[in-house]
């Protein structure tokens, strides 16, 4: 990425021999980021996105553990003849226990969507530069190595989204059964949906990379 940025910097600083550089007109266009801005932003955001994905998985594991533990307590309550009152008590305890992980999931969902919006312009810029032959062989080799890693992440995210869709359905059921759980499960659904919605963007990267051959 550093080599590609240096190459682009050189292109920007050297006017083409064929003619003058055309400067876009209009205030809206002058506020738009250039391709160096997009590449630099992507370079920073990619590791942050990877960290967000890793944290998301850990928090979901914690959520799952607490939910499974609560299911065990529900069975024990039923075995003691606790009835619906016993179930409600266990459910309210679960709601209190889920506050921290659910708040974290909500934060990570927002970060996930933000990270993708920062990465997307840079990925598209790299793909287009290679497709139009504007990168050196060394730069293209580095970019294609990154694309190979992205393809692996795309496959993994596709599988993860399939699991998250199941989690979304489970959250809906839990929200319908308890007033205490409802706002928490709504937050989980919102965060999960942000990840699911981002898959459309990620799949588009894969399609564009495949078109490069």
Residue 11 lies in a domain: no
The total number of structural domains in the chain stands at 1
- Residue 10's pLDDT is 54
Whether residue 97 is contained in a domain is answered as yes
What pLDDT, on the 0 to 100 scale, is given for residue 26? 53
In this predicted structure, what is the pLDDT of residue 110? 93
Is 12 domain-assigned? no
Cα three-residue angle 161-48-102, rounded to 5 degrees: 55
Provide, for the chain, the percentages of residues in helix, strand and coil under a 3-state DSSP scheme, each rounded to the nearest 5. 85, 0, 15
**Residue 26 parent element (H or E):** none
pLDDT at residue number 178: 87
Distance CA 166, CA 140 (A): 39
Sign of the CA dihedral with 71 first, then 76, 78, and 79 last: positive
186: in domain:
yes
- In this structure, how many other beta carbons lie within 10 angstroms of the beta carbon of residue 77? 18
Q: Classify residue 25 by burial, with Cβ atoms within 10 Å: 0-12, 13-18, 19+.
A: exposed
Q: Which of 8, 80, 57, 64 is nearest to 37 (CA)?
A: 8
Residue 8 in any domain: the answer is no
CA-based Rg of the chain, rounded to a whole angstrom? 24
Angle in degrees, CA 104, 110, 114, rounded to 5: 140
> pTM of the predicted model, to two decimals?
0.75
CA 192 from chain center: how many Å? Answer: 10
Q: Does residue 9 fall inside a structural domain? A: no
Q: Is residue 207 part of a domain?
A: yes
Give the Å distances, CA to CA, from 86 to 43, 75, 89, 93, 175.
Answer: 52, 10, 5, 11, 18
Residue 86 domain-assigned (yes or no) = yes
Question: pLDDT tens per residue, the chain (213 residues)?
Answer: 455 555 545 544 544 444 444 445 555 555 666 777 888 888 888 889 888 888 888 888 888 899 889 999 999 999 999 999 999 999 999 999 999 999 999 999 999 999 999 999 988 888 888 888 877 788 788 888 888 888 888 888 887 887 788 888 888 888 888 899 999 999 999 998 999 899 899 999 889 988 887
- The DSSP output letter for 213 is -
Residue 80 is predicted with a pLDDT of 92
Which residues span the domain enclosing 92? Answer: 34-212
Q: What is the pLDDT of residue 6?
A: 54
Contact partners, residue 3, CB within 8 Å, separation at least 6: 138, 139, 142
User: What pLDDT, on a 0 to 100 scale, did the predictor assign at position 17?
Assistant: 43
């Amino acid at each position: 990425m550093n080599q590609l940025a240096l190459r682009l910097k050189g292109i920007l600083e050297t006017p083409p021999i064929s003619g003058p550089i055309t400067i876009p007109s209009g205030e809206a266009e002058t506020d738009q980021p250039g391709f160096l801005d997009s590449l630099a932003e992507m370079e920073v955001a990619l590791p942050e996105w990877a960290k967000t994905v890793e944290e998301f998985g850990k928090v979901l594991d914690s959520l799952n553990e607490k939910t499974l533990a609560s299911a065990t307590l529900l069975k024990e309550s039923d075995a003691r003849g606790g009835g619906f009152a016993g179930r409600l008590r266990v459910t309210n305890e679960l709601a209190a226990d889920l506050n921290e992980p659910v708040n974290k999931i909500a934060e990570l969902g927002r970060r996930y969507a933000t990270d993708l919006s920062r990465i997307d312009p840079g990925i598209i810029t790299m793909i287009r530069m290679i497709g139009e032959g504007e990168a050196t062989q060394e730069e293209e080799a580095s970019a294609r190595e990154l694309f190979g890693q992205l393809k692996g992440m795309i496959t993994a995210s596709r599988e993860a989204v399939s699991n998250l869709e199941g989690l979304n359905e489970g959250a809906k059921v839990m929200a319908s059964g308890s007033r205490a759980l409802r706002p928490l499960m709504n937050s989980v659904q919102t965060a999960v949906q942000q990840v699911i919605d981002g898959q459309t963007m990620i799949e588009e990267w894969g399609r564009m990379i495949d078109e490069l051959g």
